[in-house]
Amino acid sequence: MGEQAAMQNAISSYKPQLSMDAQKALCGFCVVTPRWHEPMASHCTLRAGGRAEAFIEVSTIRELSVILGYLDGNKISYRIIGKGSNILVPESGLPGVTIRLVGDFQSISPLKAKNDLRVGAGCSMNRLLAYCMKNDLGGVEFLAGIPGSLGGGIYMNAGAYGQDLSKLTDWVETIDKDGKISRLSASELDFSYRHSIFQEESKRGHLILFVGLTLKARPSADVRQESREFLRIRAGKQPSIHGSAGSFFKNPVGDFAGRLIEAAGLKGYSRGHAMVSPVHANFIINTGEASVDDISALMLEVQQKVFAESGVLLEPEVRFLS
């Protein structure tokens, strides 16, 4: 299957890319000293995965532009992560540079129109929600309890309870490997269920910097009340003790992945320390020391058994990094 092939390719293709000269150069470019051989399990909500050859936190567009130019010019691979809520890192690790956006990229700024915001891609969903509560802005209540960042949410058009980010997004500002800044309007983002244009080959290497959101005026008390209701629903239906990536599979058209997995008799089924959650069947949880191999093997078994039972091949929401 495609997901397993992607994982195997990531494992077999891993080769260190950073010479001593490259490490020295990165130290010179970065405001915060890079971390070498950083354990990615501490940056993923699944609490599993290998090490990043270099892990850097970038605070400004200028700093990011210089770093991207150097990496591209020296053919060093890179990728960007948010809060790690929807990713799986191979046991072999991530070659090159793994980037997290902080500083300016976590900012929230009001625009001229009363209900419009410019929000950094590194801003957490919870921080955005807290800002909206304080400033009487509604529309983001469904994000309550989603642990990711806004950039990651845009990438996969995150949503819940029949709502998603596409309905709030006015534009997205990006940067490419050459340092060129572009702005894409909502109509150019190709939003659909758990999909945006940033998943397409044409936008590979384009990193999300800032997002323009159009919200609606709503009393803070109402925003808080609805957000708490969404949190209550989540607490009753989703696992919260163990590490997970959130919903692991996309819902097929006209059905629910969790229902199909449960109908196949897989609720509570495990491989190693990875388990199909007994609380919600569309969550794969790390019950202790699960490896990525445990998680990916369990994913494949779920896909195979659901397909044998229903004829539906479930597609993962989780991104397999390489």
Where do the domains of the chain lie, and which CATH numbers do they carry?
17-101 (3.30.43.10), 106-236 (3.30.465.10), 240-310 (3.90.78.10)
Of 205 and 284, the structure prediction assigns the larger pLDDT to 284
d(CA 178, CA 188): 21
Short-list 148, 54, 47, 35, CA closest to 93: 54
Helix or strand (DSSP H, E) at 66: helix 61-73
Dist CA 160 CA 144 (whole Å): 10
pLDDT of residue 195: 94
In this prediction, residues 162-174 reach a mean pLDDT of: 96
Q: Shortest CA distance to 146 belongs to which of 193, 97, 86?
A: 86
Q: Which two tokens mark 3? A: 């997901």
Tell me whether residue 244 is one of the annotated catalytic residues.
no
Query: Six-digit token pair at 309?
Result: 């039972």
Q: Is 317 a catalytic residue?
A: yes
Report residue 203's pLDDT band, with 50, 70 and 90 as the boundaries: confident
For residue 205, pLDDT over 90 is answered with no
Helix, strand, coil percentages, rounded to 5, for the chain: 35, 25, 40
Tell me 84's DSSP state.
S
Residue pair 219/134 in contact by the 8 Å Cβ criterion: no
Residue 247 annotated in active site: yes
Q: What is the pLDDT of residue 41?
A: 93
What pTM, to 2 d.p., does this model score? 0.89
**Termini Cα distance of the chain:** 17
Q: Which 3 state secondary structure label does DSSP give 83? A: coil
Checking if the pLDDT of 20 tops 60, the result is yes
Q: Which of 2-16, 210-224, 239-253, 269-283 has the lowest mean pLDDT?
A: 2-16
- pLDDT bracket for residue 54 (50, 70, 90): very high
Q: What pLDDT band is residue 10 in, cutting at 50, 70 and 90?
A: very low
Q: How far apart are CA 298 and CA 296, in angstroms?
A: 5
Beta-carbon contacts of residue 225 (< 8 Å; ≥ 6 apart): none
For 49, the token pair is: 């995965």
Q: Give the pLDDT confidence score for residue 98 in this predicted structure.
A: 97
| pLDDT given for residue 12 in this prediction | 47
For the chain, percent of residues with pLDDT exceeding 70: 96
Catalytic residue among 194, 218, 271, 319: 194
**286 or 4: which leads in pLDDT:** 286
CB 173 within 8 A of CB 183: yes
Instruction: Pick the catalytic residue from 57, 141, 173, 317.
Output: 317
201 — pLDDT class (breaks 50, 70, 90): confident
Side chain identity at residue 247, one-letter code? S
Task: Please write the tens of the pLDDT for every residue from 75-122.
Answer: 999 999 998 888 999 999 999 999 999 999 999 999 988 899 999 999
Q: Which residue has the tokens 């802005």?
A: 137
pLDDT of residue 13: 56
Catalytic entry in 247, 277, 296, 322: 247
Average pLDDT over every residue of 218-231: 94
Query: Which H helix or E strand runs over 211?
Result: strand 207-214
pLDDT of residue 156: 93
